[in-house]
Amino acid sequence: MRERFWERYSLSELTASEWEALCDGCGQCCLVRRADDNEVTVYGVACELLDIKQSRCSDYKNRFARVPYCRQLTPENIPRYDWLPDSCAYRRLAMGVALADWHPLIAGSQQQMIALGVTVSSYAVPMKEVPEYRMHQHVIARWPIAYDAD
């Protein structure tokens, strides 16, 4: 079996198109997060640009200009973004773990990951539907801050 690009190169050696191809499209990094002094809280509330059904950004090219809290994932910041789920391809590879069998680069489509509930499409709600005073009802994870959580 021939070696695949993500097995051949480190994250920092990938081309821009290879980097983008690693994204499984789960949408989990597009959930609203808040950091305080001790932890990052992740909510089941989608960023205003996330197309929840497709688990994709509806304006990927302009996301940083439109959403001030959107963060670019890079090989350098992946290790300190503890709030990324263990299923995240970038996080897995940074930790030396192989891609999951359901990952679209292995399985050939998103169908298996959708069936397994890896995408946010089954539980995320649009930000505009959740008033601030109800955010506490949508907490899905809390992570201690080990590094800069921006």
Residue 20 belongs to some domain of the structure? yes
Residue 149 belongs to some domain of the structure? no
Q: Where are the alpha helices (DSSP H) in 95-135?
A: 104-107, 111-115
Q: Which residues of the chain have pLDDT under 50?
A: 147-150
Query: What's the number of domains the chain is made of?
Result: 1
d(CA 74, CA 95): 14
Tokens of 51: 């197309």
pLDDT of residue 141: 81
Backbone angles phi, psi at 8, to 5 degrees: -85, -35
pLDDT of residue 148: 47
pLDDT of residue 145: 66
Residue 131 belongs to some domain of the structure? yes
Amino acid symbol at 35: A
Tokens of 134: 């109800």
Cα 23 from chain centre:
8
Residue 86 belongs to some domain of the structure? yes
